[in-house]
Amino acid sequence: MDKAYSPQEIETRWYDTWEKNGNFVPSGKGDPYCIMIPPPNVTGTLHMGHAFQDTIMDALTRYHRMLGMNTLWQPGTDHAGIATQMVVERQLNAQGLSRQDLGREAFVDKVWEWKEESGDTISRQLRRMGSSVDWKRERFTMDAGLSAAVQEVFIRLFKEGLIYRGKRLVNWDPVLHTALSDLEVLSQEEDGHLWHLRYPIEGSDQTLTVATTRPETMLGDTAVAVHPADERYLHLVGKQVRLPLCDRLIPIVADDYVDPEFGSGCVKITPAHDVNDYEIGKRHDLEIINILTDDAAINDAAPAAYRGMDRFDARKKVVEDLDQLGLLERVDEHKLMVPRGDRSGSVVEPYLTDQWYVKVEPLAKEAIAAVETGKIRFVPENWSKTYYDWMHNIQDWCISRQLWWGHRIPAWYDEQGNIYVGSSEESIRAEHKLGGDISLRQDEDVLDTWFSSALWPFSTLGWPEQTDALKTWYPTSVLVTGFDIIFFWVARMIMMGLKFMGDVPFREVYIHGLIRDQDGQKMSKSKGNVLDPLDLIDGIDLDSLVAKRAAGLMQPHMAPKIEKATRRQFPDGIPAYGTDALRFTFAALATTGRDIRFDMGRIEGYRNFCNKLWNAARYVLMNTEDYDCGAQGKIELSLPDRWIRARLGQTIEEARKGFAGYRLDLAAQSIYEFTWHQFCDWYLELSKPILQSESTTDALRRGTRQTLIQVLEASLRLMHPIMPFITEEIWQRVAPLAGKTGASVMLQDYPCSEDFPDDADARAHMEWVMQFVLGIRQVRGEMDIPPNRQLPLLLQDASELDRQLWDSHGAYLQSLARLESVDFLEDDAEAPASATALLGNMKLLVPMAGLIDVAAERARLEKQVQRSEADLDKCERKLSDKRFVSNAPAEVVEKERQRTEMLRQELRHLAERLEKLAGISG
């Protein structure tokens, strides 16, 4: 093995081998386990959120595969309607073309081209992350099978009356010219104004004052509303006002909706351009006057003066004109929530159009019950509350989009406007016996992207065909996703799954946090703080990183600022950390909290961990290859052998518990702690004297060699789900020595704690050994005695057990603590001036002659006295409290007593040593 760990070389090699060997394909044996990848945008690229999510899914997949389950991780991509169409449109715009110039068919062809061109970026990146998905089953939401599923679902829902076409207010994006679902609209608080307008009361010289944040909509007002109990206005209800600028008479109505406390207590009602007003309009049978075009310009329903003006220009003009007429009472500064399209960023207008809707309430009912009855479990549990809140208030889902890229709605109209829904024009003609004389035209719209995503858990498995895959893996095991798409996706999959499969689409939903930058900022292109997971894996030099972050900014003036921040944070660019280090970092950060700050310090630490593992393996191989590891002769296990095996068993338990409870962070932590601080720091060091000393028996040597190789081999399996590449690379060398055969570690069994049972004696005795060594090291460290300086050591007040332990384990202790000589002193013998460490009652005395600074030793002991006294004080206070003694459990009290005794003894010893020192210096 090379001296240094170099991830690139390893990682590129193994993935191809795995894929070629079909290692990602479900085994066909064991209980089914299945994860559906949340399909990324087909033309997108992998960002940190994906990389994080993919790490979790791959770790779970590999873990369950190693448990012997019939494991499928289903890959695929989403056509991402609006997003993809926008990208291609922008490309066209750059050539001075619009999609209308091309026409629908040519444009859609163009999008397919773009999809082919860029569509495998994501899969390449997934491969680089080590994702063990079954590529043979890769699906795309617009491929033939999934499109058929979409059509089938649409038709069935329509026939059941759960899909209908309706004219109502939708969220209209005037830039994209399409309707949006409520979820695709993001409301943000923005600074605006509240205009107070006066409307003259007909038959009176009085006016009514109404307040509005969108004065231009007054052109479409068809009433003014007041609260029915508002005495100020009660006498006016039933009368009319003369709408300024339009010169129309509109009624004054009373409606509970009005809050008499707000503004003037009078509300102008524009049923065509406000959802509340729309409802009021329905209640009072008001006229609905739409004053906007598709572009949100003023249309011909408005007075001529405003026609053709953009809505914001019209706003200015309306206000000016009202002011001129003396009808503008005042203008207040006002913060308001402005709804914007999540893709275009333009202000969305409530707009009256014909759209297709899914009637969700009946579907939602079942979906709520599925979570309430525990058929689906959210992890962490509290997300179910978010889910309920939304599901209980769910509105019908607008599924039609005025786009070209997507699943065309399978509905046809005849000239009378009758609607026919079916899989094709032919089938409709046949079904409804429509002759050739009747012309049909298909609905121009496509379906919301999330409509097809909602079918993902069964459409990818072949539905509506009753395939084996469907029978095997539906319901899937777990959905791994971010909280941001609980409503968009999770809830809708649950509804559709229950409806069409008669069962939940997944048994658990693991909701993970969002990856943020080191300052807690959301990573975004415009902030220039994006990290590309591949740059963390393969590294990137500073100039390339700066160029990447500054490229294609919406606001180019931010570039210098971004460059400066980037140069400050990464003065040397980003080194290549490798996939395993990145994955381990994600695993370690995968805590239950909501967001995750990505800390470069962590990935560096875990890269070092990989290097540590690499070198530990080198050491193990160096000492096992070409040696007898127990195959030929008798073996005997030393104390460290027994101890490390027991510790491994514990670690296996912890890792399994971590995976089972979606606590990859705890699994990673246990693995890290074990590998570095038990296996490397202690066990490998202890193995050296055993293997090197001439006095060890061959049986012991064989025992240690066998333990080295077996523990390493099992550890590799233990961490493989998180770090697939490095473990595979090492395992290939290690496995044969451990008596394991197999083509890949990924197809091995996950380690069992039964193979490494607990050994309480070994743990207790090792504790003694470790405390012994730590005591000496502490003296050495605090006295600044160089590590290579061999120390003489005297032992006093040793118990029978101490002597026994020394006899058995002294040899490697001597080496580990770097002792030159060790001698027992009689309990009553006069010890020379020494630095002292305590091990229970036994004193470890390092004679001071020429070694130790008396003042330093005194300072060291005094520090210990201080600590122990503080502890003792706490203990004594507790024990002297009668309530504690009588109320606390007996074992807690007893423990406290023992601790007190121990501390007292320690303090006596320390005092003794200090006295001795006083004798010397005095």
Write out the binding residues for RNA, residues 710-749 only, by CB under 7 A.
none
By the 8 A CB rule, do 112 and 36 touch?
no
* By the rule CB under 7 A, 261 interacts with RNA: yes
Whole-angstrom CA distances from 151 to 148, 410, 447, 459, 505 are 5, 7, 10, 11, 19
**Which residue of 203, 374, 502, 889 would you call a contact of RNA, by CB under 7 A?**
889
CB of 751 to RNA, least distance (A): 20
Check residue 176 for interaction with RNA (CB under 7 A): no
Per CB under 7 A, the list member of 602, 763, 858, 897 interacting with RNA is 602
Instruction: Rank residues 514 and 550 by Cβ distance to RNA and give the closer one.
Output: 514
Structure tokens at 682: 């202690």
How far apart, in whole angstroms, are the C-alpha atoms of residue 548 and residue 528?
A: 9
**Window 59-98: contact mask with RNA (x via CB under 7 A):** ----------------------------------------
CA-CA distance, 530 to 45, in Å (whole number)?
Answer: 12
Instruction: Output the six-digit token pair for 672.
Output: 């890290």
Q: Does 809 bind RNA (CB under 7 A)?
A: no
Interaction of residue 918 with RNA, rule CB under 7 A = no
The residues in 647-666 that bind RNA, with binding defined as CB under 7 A, are: 663, 665-666
Whether cis (ω within 30° of 0) applies to the bond prior to 736 is: no
Print burial letters for 601-638: b (CB count within 10 Å at least 16), e (below 16): ebbeebbebbbbbbbbbbebbebbeeeebbeeeebbbb
Q: How far is the CB of 533 from RNA (least distance, A)?
A: 17
Site stretch for RNA (CB under 7 A), options 127-135, 296-304, 562-570, 616-624: 616-624
Q: Where do the DSSP E strands lie in 541-620?
A: 595-597
Instruction: State which residue, 164 or 884, has the beta carbon closest to RNA.
Output: 884
Choice between 755 and 901, CB closer to RNA? 901
Query: In the window 407-446, what residues touch RNA (CB under 7 A)?
Result: none
341 forms part of the interface with RNA (CB under 7 A)? no
787 makes contact with RNA (CB under 7 A): yes
231: its two tokens? 């005495």
Of 83-91, 424-432, 585-593, 828-836: span binding RNA (CB under 7 A)? 585-593
Could you give phi then psi for residue 140, rounded to 5 degrees?
Answer: -135, 140
| Closer residue to RNA, CB minimum distance, 423 or 669 | 669
From the list 105, 285, 333, 784, which residue makes contact with RNA (rule: CB under 7 A)? 784
Q: Which one of 139, 612, 809, 909 is in contact with RNA (CB under 7 A)?
A: 612
Binding test (CB under 7 A) with RNA, winner from 168, 818, 858, 897: 818
Asked if 460 and 74 touch (Cβ cutoff 8 Å), the reply is yes
Instruction: Kindly tell me which of 224 and 469 has the beta carbon lying closer to RNA.
Output: 224
Closest approach of RNA to the CB of residue 268, in Å: 6
| Burial (CB count <10 Å: 0-12, 13-18, 19+), residue 103 | exposed
Strands 70-74 and 163-173: unpaired
Stretch touching RNA by CB under 7 A, among 93-101, 363-371, 453-461, 593-601:
593-601
Taking CB under 7 A as the criterion, the residue among 465, 681, 749, 862 binding RNA is 681
Two tokens, residue 274: 């406000």
When the beta carbons of 43 and 181 are compared against RNA, the nearer one is 181
Q: Does 343 bind RNA (CB under 7 A)?
A: no
**SS3 state at 535:** helix
Residues 112, 164, 627, 676: which binds RNA (CB under 7 A)?
A: 676
**Residues 655 and 664 sit within 8 Å (Cβ to Cβ):** no
Residue 890 binds RNA, judged by CB under 7 A = no
Verify binding: residue 680, RNA, rule CB under 7 A.
Answer: yes
Q: Please select the residue that binds RNA; options are 202, 313, 323, 604, rule is CB under 7 A.
A: 604
Considering only residues 268 to 287 of the shown chain, the ones binding RNA according to CB under 7 A are: 268, 274-276
Report which of 513, 508, 514 is spatially closest to residue 378, judged by C-alpha positions: 508
Helix (H) or strand (E) holding 495: helix 491-501
Q: Which of 79, 99, 128, 214 is the binder for RNA (CB under 7 A)?
A: 214
CB of 195 to RNA, least distance (A): 9
CB-based contact 677:683 (threshold 8 Å):
no
User: How do strand 185-200 and strand 328-341 relate by DSSP bridges?
Assistant: antiparallel
Q: Is 518 in the site for RNA (CB under 7 A)?
A: yes
Among 685, 853, 869, 876, binds RNA (CB under 7 A): 685
Binding residue for RNA (CB under 7 A) from 442, 467, 615, 771?
615
Positive or negative: CA dihedral 142, 144, 145, 147:
positive
Residue type, 279: E
**What DSSP designation does 246 have?**
T
Copy the structure tokens of residue 27.
């085994």
Which residue has tokens 């339009």? 246
Using an 8 Å Cβ cutoff, are 720 and 746 in contact? yes
# binding residues, RNA (CB under 7 A): 100
- Report how far Cα 560 is from the mean position of its chain's Cα atoms: 31
DSSP 245: T
Stretch that binds RNA, among 49-57, 404-412, 431-439, 673-681 (CB under 7 A): 673-681
Specify whether the CB–CB gap between 530 and 47 falls below 8 A. Answer: yes
Which residue from 547, 622, 829, 856 is in contact with RNA, where contact means CB under 7 A?
622
Asked if 669 interacts with RNA (CB under 7 A), we say: yes
CB of 677 to RNA, least distance (A): 7
Count the neighbouring beta carbons within 10 Å of the beta carbon of residue 859: 12
Binding to RNA by residue 778, rule CB under 7 A? Answer: yes
DSSP string, 273-340: S-HHHHHHHHHHT------B-TTSBB-TTS-GGGTT-BHHHHHHHHHHHHHHTT-EEEEEEEEEEEEE
Distance, in Å, from the CA atom of 483 to the CA atom of 386, rounded to the nearest integer, reads 9
Residue 486 amino acid letter: I
Q: Which is nearer to RNA, 41 or 585 (CB)?
A: 585
Q: State in angstroms the smallest separation of the CB of 609 from RNA.
A: 7
Query: In the chain, what is the straight-line distance between the N-terminal and C-terminal CA atoms, in Å?
Result: 59
- The verdict on 569 binding RNA (CB under 7 A) reads no
For the segment 470-499, give every residue that binds RNA (CB under 7 A): 484, 487
Q: How far is the CB of 582 from RNA (least distance, A)?
A: 14
**Residue 773: which of 745, 750, 806, 744 has the closest Cα?**
806
Distance CA 41, CA 262 (A): 45
User: Which positions from 300 to 319 touch RNA by CB under 7 A, shown as an x/- string?
Assistant: --------------------
Near RNA in 354-413, by CB under 7 A: 382, 385-386, 389-390, 393
Which region, judged by CB under 7 A, interacts with RNA, from 89-97, 100-108, 515-523, 566-574? 515-523
Q: Which residues pair with 169 in a beta bridge?
A: 352
Asked if 342 touches RNA (CB under 7 A), the answer is no
Closest CB to RNA among 85 and 212? 212
Least gap, CB of 534 to RNA (angstroms): 19
Strand partners, 336: 190
User: Counting contacts by CB under 7 A, is residue 608 touching RNA?
Assistant: yes
Report the nearest approach of RNA to the CB of residue 857 (Å): 13
The number of beta carbons lying within 10 Å of the beta carbon of residue 688 is 15
Of 116, 117, 259, 862, the residue at the interface with RNA (CB under 7 A) is: 259
Q: Is 871 in the site for RNA (CB under 7 A)?
A: yes
CB of 26 vs RNA, minimal distance in Å: 33
